[in-house]
């Protein structure tokens, strides 16, 4: 047993993007910061693994958040680093009912594409509004880091400084995305299904469930698609380097088992090589999902997170598949969404998301073969039903992945397909420690808006939260934005 007597200003539990960003920004402000990470690498669900010379993104596979001076652009500037990235245009290709829909970045090309595949709908009006609301939303999130307000004084800050913008966007938090669509659009079942599956990737909900404001942000994501050379973890490595440059520390392979408060000081118990270690801090920033935190806290915090876990119990798991492929021809995009009736019959999920490594990314590829990550949502209940025959179900899932792949990508000239591996929620639970393998955080649903989405604040004024179960959640861009908001609150105390 090791007693670490040194006190820290902040201990951050978890080195996902939210925890890393908050820690690095606080270290830059001369706070004494320590991160405790259970894994051997940083990045959380946006981390990686290697097989036979190939590097695979584990979960998150796309970067977004550079447009409108978004969170990823801001973190580069704040910490003074440059990530090697590549703009992907079209940001995604959607394969749907025999259609091949290119999500172009340039507005006119995108509208022409929609007119070709979905005639009779005023796409220009719909997507002009989506872009306008999305841009305004990022503007208010960047300019007013207390959004959404958690306290009365947060509301007062809006009324004093940002009233026009706030009131302009407020109605979009109360109405579903589909309710703002014209009749020609919402009566077109194919068009609604097309939009729903994009929203499932970006918001984890469909057009009838997602607030218009969050849907507009989500539908803009594929326009701002970037590829991280060397894998999604590269930005995490950059932030880790800057954390250390500013005097912050990180200890890996330390799984936190309990957080106990005595007086003004938190004692954090971690395990390393089957030995207990104790760390002490004035403040805690927890990057774990709310469903995990209830198991490591005590007293009023434990009760608080138990209640929150019951309230925000709508979440998803992921089924994934990792393999390699060699093509004769270059891909039109590195990201493809494939609608699949067979998949829906199997696990009630409607589409697969295929993410490819760039052909010139020698850090991820071997012998001209590309690394491929395939993912889809699965509900907790649906996965429970799979567990009894999990090996048979994994084989069936692999068959669906490869059958769709061979059909959709045959025109690129498939030369060889390497051996693959299936990932399930159990895989994510094992390697990330996330409760029931839940990924993607809390869906953006009307049930939680405008002001009920979980906050970074807790009943203890020195216990904070970041990650994908804090607004705005949802992917690297969301958790980095949430970390900016938290640090702003801390610095203004």
* Per-residue pLDDT, 170: 78
Q: Over the range 334-359, which residues count as b (16 or more CB within 10 Å of their CB) and which as e?
A: bbbbbbbeebeebbebbbbbbbbbbe
Per residue in 338-349, pLDDT (tens digit) is: 999 999 999 999
Q: Are 132 and 220 in contact (CB under 8 A)?
A: no
Q: What value does the CA radius of gyration of the chain take, rounded to a whole number of Å?
A: 22
Q: Kindly state the tokens that stand for 134.
A: 């999305």
Mean pLDDT of 64-68: 88
Most distant CA pair in the chain, distance: 70
Q: Which of 58-72, 151-165, 321-335 has the lowest mean pLDDT?
A: 151-165
Alpha carbon distance, N-terminus to C-terminus of the chain: 36
3-state helix, strand, coil in the chain (%, to 5): 45, 25, 35
Closest CA to 406 of 363, 446, 366, 354: 354
- Which phi and psi angles does 294 have, rounded to 5°? -60, -25
* Per-residue pLDDT, 32: 97
Q: Are 68 and 140 in contact (CB under 8 A)?
A: no
Per residue in 265-314, pLDDT (tens digit) is: 999 999 999 999 999 999 999 999 999 999 999 999 999 999 999 988 88
Q: How far apart are CA 72 and CA 70, in angstroms?
A: 6
- Which phi and psi angles does 18 have, rounded to 5°? -65, -50
Q: How far apart are CA 333 and CA 75, in angstroms?
A: 26
Query: Does the pLDDT at position 409 exceed 70?
Result: yes
* Per-residue pLDDT, 158: 53
Per residue in 165-208, pLDDT (tens digit) is: 667 777 888 899 999 999 999 999 999 999 999 999 999 999 99
* Per-residue pLDDT, 3: 45
Q: Over the range 96-117, which residues count as b (16 or more CB within 10 Å of their CB) and which as e?
A: beeeebbbbbeeeebbebbeeb
Q: How confident is the model at residue 1 (pLDDT cuts 50, 70, 90)?
A: very low
Domains, the chain, ordered by start:
2-45+65-84+230-313+443-491 (3.50.50.60), 117-220 (no CATH), 316-437 (3.30.519)
Q: Are 195 and 94 in contact (CB under 8 A)?
A: no
* Per-residue pLDDT, 168: 77
């Amino acid at each position: 047993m090791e007693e670490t007597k040194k006190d820290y200003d902040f201990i951050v539990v978890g080195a996902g993007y939210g925890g890393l960003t908050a820690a690095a920004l606080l270290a830059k402000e001369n706070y004494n910061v320590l991160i405790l990470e259970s894994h051997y690498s940083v990045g959380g669900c946006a981390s990686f693994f290697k097989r036979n010379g190939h590097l695979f993104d584990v979960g998150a596979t796309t970067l977004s958040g550079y447009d409108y001076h978004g969170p990823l652009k801001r973190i580069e500037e704040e910490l003074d680093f440059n990530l090697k990235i590549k703009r992907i245009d079209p940001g995604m290709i959607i394969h749907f009912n025999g259609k091949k829909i290119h999500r172009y970045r340039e507005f006119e090309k995108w509208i022409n594409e929609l007119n070709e595949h979905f005639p009779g709908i005023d796409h220009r009006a719909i997507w002009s509004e989506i872009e306008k609301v999305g841009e305004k939303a990022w503007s208010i999130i960047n300019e007013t880091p207390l959004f959404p307000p958690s306290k009365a004084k947060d509301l007062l800050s809006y009324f004093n400084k940002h009233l026009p913008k706030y009131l302009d966007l407020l109605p979009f938090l109360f109405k579903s995305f589909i309710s703002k669509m014209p009749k020609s659009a919402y009566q077109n079942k194919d068009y609604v299904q097309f939009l729903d599956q994009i929203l499932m990737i970006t918001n984890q909900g469909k057009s009838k469930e997602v607030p218009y404001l969050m849907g507009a942000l989500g539908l803009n994501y594929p326009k701002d698609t970037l590829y991280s050379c060397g894998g999604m973890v590269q930005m995490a490595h950059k932030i880790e380097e800057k954390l250390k440059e500013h005097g912050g520390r990180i200890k890996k392979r330390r799984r936190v088992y309990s957080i106990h408060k005595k007086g003004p000081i938190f004692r954090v118990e971690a395990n390393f090589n089957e030995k207990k270690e104790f760390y002490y801090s004035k403040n805690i920033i927890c990057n774990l999902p709310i469903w995990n935190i209830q198991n490591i806290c005590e007293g009023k915090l434990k009760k608080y997170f138990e209640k929150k876990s019951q309230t925000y119990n709508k979440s998803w798991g992921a089924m994934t598949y990792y393999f390699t492929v060699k093509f004769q021809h270059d891909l039109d995009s590195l990201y493809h969404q494939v609608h699949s009736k067979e998949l829906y019959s199997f696990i009630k999920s409607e589409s697969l998301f295929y993410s490819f490594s760039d052909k010139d990314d020698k850090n991820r590829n071997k012998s001209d073969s590309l690394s491929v990550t395939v993912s889809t949502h699965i509900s907790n209940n649906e996965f429970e039903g799979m567990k009894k025959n999990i090996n048979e179900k994994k084989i069936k899932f692999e068959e669906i992945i490869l059958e769709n792949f061979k059909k959709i990508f045959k025109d690129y000239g498939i030369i060889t397909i390497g051996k693959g591996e299936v990932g399930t929620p159990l895989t994510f639970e094992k390697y990330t420690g996330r409760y029931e393998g839940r990924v993607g955080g809390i869906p953006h649903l009307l049930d939680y808006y405008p002001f009920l989405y979980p906050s970074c604040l807790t009943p203890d004024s020195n216990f904070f939260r970041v990650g994908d179960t804090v607004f705005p959640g949802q992917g690297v861009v969301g958790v980095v934005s949430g970390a900016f908001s938290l640090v702003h609150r801390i610095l203004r105390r």
